[in-house]
């Protein structure tokens, strides 16, 4: 399926959108109006806001249409999942009898502009409160071409284990918030796959004692993908595994930003990022690890790697440590390189043509993400998605480069 990514953002016209949507919006409409007013006062975050230093959102949302792209259909059927589909902000199908009753966002006027816009305009979202582990994984698919604001909540009671996949293939602008709360010993795996549109996502995760959060993020296309995650390791033994991969193509702007707050002793975080950037794609990695004064024996590891596939591509990587405790093990590293010429020769010396050898090395790089995915059927879906995107990449860019 070949589609054209529609441009023009309703964000620039939030008031009109609000007036139109008002009749359908639930909750306290007055509070929503206040949130909107405050959001408009703050305006879209500019590069002057530290967390947005490398992602100039107003400019990116205003770019004129340039890319057309094929959507990859992710087939999760082997996983027999619960399925929810949000289309243009509406829950268009609830194929499993999964309760998804939406509760309007709480108003918090001290929030940042993007959250305020979401508070004002979110009309739907997943509400998942689980007291026991579900048998199947939950897929949240987002599609459609209109602007949408979604507010998802996941709350796992003590000891509950669940996997949620956010399959984002919406073509327009999306402002998506995830609020995750994990009680003691709860374990959530949250997979984000984003391949289209202008996507701004913000995920906040609070972890209690020994809770575990694993996030697997795969950004493979579209125009803008900003995926920010704030993790609060609030009680001892909590653990966060945050792994992301980006396959940046055309003029896509891809941003993964983490703020990991170790608030208690014996908490752990492990972050990896693999960004392969082709054409004029831009990648951003920001990772801020904060270790509070009383958070002793914290182990925080962060590793960001980038593979530059074109001289026009760009990467901004900024790992940061803010450590107030003294007994901690923290490390971060950044490695930026190109396709390794010796590795390329090794493959070619085994009869593999240059284009295929490059493709193999790129998929090997990106698929290191999958080493963190314990569910092999889920890993297969991710792998298939990556392979599809890489084959598109090779046809458009690498051959063109070769012809020069």
Partner 1 sequence: MSALLEISNLQAAIGDKTILKGLDLTIQAGEVHAIMGPNGSGKSTLSYVLSGKDGYDITGGSMHFDGQDLADLQAEERAIAGLFLAFQYPLEIPGVTNMTFLKTALNAVRRGRGEDDMDAASFLRLAREKSRALGMDDDMLKRQLNVGFSGGEKKRNEILQMAMLEPKLAILDETDSGLDIDALKIVAEGVNAQRSPERGMLVITHYQRLLDFIKPDVVHVMANGRIVRSGGPELALELEKSGYADYRAEGVAHA
Residues lying near partner 1 in the complex (CB under 8 A) are found at: 340-343, 345-354, 356-357, 360-361, 363-368
Whole-number minimum distance, CB 378 to partner 1, in Å?
A: 17
- Residue number, 31 or 352, with CB nearest to partner 1: 352
- Residue number, 2 or 349, with CB nearest to partner 1: 349
Whole-number minimum distance, CB 393 to partner 1, in Å?
A: 16
- Residue number, 166 or 367, with CB nearest to partner 1: 367
Whole-number minimum distance, CB 357 to partner 1, in Å?
A: 8
CA 107, 113, 117, 118: dihedral to nearest 10 degrees? -70
- Residue number, 184 or 343, with CB nearest to partner 1: 343
CA distance 134 to 161: 8
Task: Give, for 236, the enclosing helix (H) or strand (E).
Answer: none
- Residue number, 70 or 377, with CB nearest to partner 1: 377
Whole-number minimum distance, CB 341 to partner 1, in Å?
A: 7
CA distance 249 to 251: 6
Q: Are strands 82-87 and 90-94 parallel, antiparallel or unpaired?
A: antiparallel
**Distances from the Cα of 384 to the Cα of 159, 283, 309, 363, 381, angstroms:** 32, 22, 21, 10, 5
Question: Cα angle at 307 between 396 and 240, to 5 degrees?
Answer: 120
Q: For the purposes of burial, counting CB atoms within 10 Å of the CB of 398, is it exposed (0-12), middle (13-18) or buried (19 or more)?
A: buried
Whole-number minimum distance, CB 402 to partner 1, in Å?
A: 12
Whole-number minimum distance, CB 319 to partner 1, in Å?
A: 20
- Residue number, 324 or 346, with CB nearest to partner 1: 346
């Amino acid at each position: 399926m070949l589609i054209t990514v529609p441009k023009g953002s309703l964000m620039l016209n939030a008031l009109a959108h609000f007036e139109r949507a008002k009749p359908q919006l639930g909750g306290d409409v007055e509070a929503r109006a206040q949130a909107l007013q405050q959001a408009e006062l703050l305006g879209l975050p500019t590069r002057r806001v530290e967390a947005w230093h490398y992602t100039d959102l107003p400019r990116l949302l205003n770019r004129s249409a340039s890319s057309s792209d094929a959507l990859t259909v992710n087939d999760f059927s082997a996983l027999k999942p619960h399925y929810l589909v949000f289309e243009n902000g509406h829950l268009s199908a609830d194929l499993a009898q999964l309760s998804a009753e939406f509760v309007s966002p709480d108003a918090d006027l001290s929030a940042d502009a993007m959250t305020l816009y979401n508070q004002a305009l979110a009309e739907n979202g997943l509400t998942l409160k689980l007291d026991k582990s579900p048998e199947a994984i939950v897929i949240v698919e987002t599609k459609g071409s209109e602007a949408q604001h979604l507010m998802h909540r996941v709350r796992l009671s003590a000891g509950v284990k669940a996997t949620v996949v956010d399959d984002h293939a919406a073509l327009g602008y999306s402002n998506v918030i995830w609020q995750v709360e994990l009680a003691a010993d709860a374990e959530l795996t949250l997979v984000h796959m984003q391949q289209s549109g202008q996507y701004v996502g913000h995920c906040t995760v609070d972890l209690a004692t020994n809770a575990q959060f694993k996030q697997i993020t795969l950004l493979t296309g579209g125009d803008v993908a900003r995926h920010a995650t704030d993790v609060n390791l609030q009680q001892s033994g909590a653990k966060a595994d945050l792994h992301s991969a980006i396959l940046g193509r055309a003029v896509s702007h891809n941003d993964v930003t983490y703020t990991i707050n170790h608030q208690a002793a014996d908490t752990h975080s492990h972050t990896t990022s693999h960004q392969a950037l082709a054409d004029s794609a831009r990648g951003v990695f920001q990772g801020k690890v904060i270790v509070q004064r009383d958070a002793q024996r914290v182990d925080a590891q962060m590793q960001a790697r980038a593979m530059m596939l074109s001289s026009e591509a760009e990467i901004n990587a900024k790992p940061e440590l803010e450590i107030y405790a003294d007994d901690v093990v923290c490390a971060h590293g950044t490695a930026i390189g190109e396709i390794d010429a010796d590795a390329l020769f090794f493959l070619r010396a085994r009869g593999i043509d240059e284009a295929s050898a490059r493709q193999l090395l790129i998929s090997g790089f990106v698929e290191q993400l999958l080493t963190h995915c314990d569910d092999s059927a889920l890993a297969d879906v991710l792998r298939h998605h990556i392979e599809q995107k890489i084959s598109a990449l090779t046809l458009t860019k690498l051959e063109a480069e070769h012809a020069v």
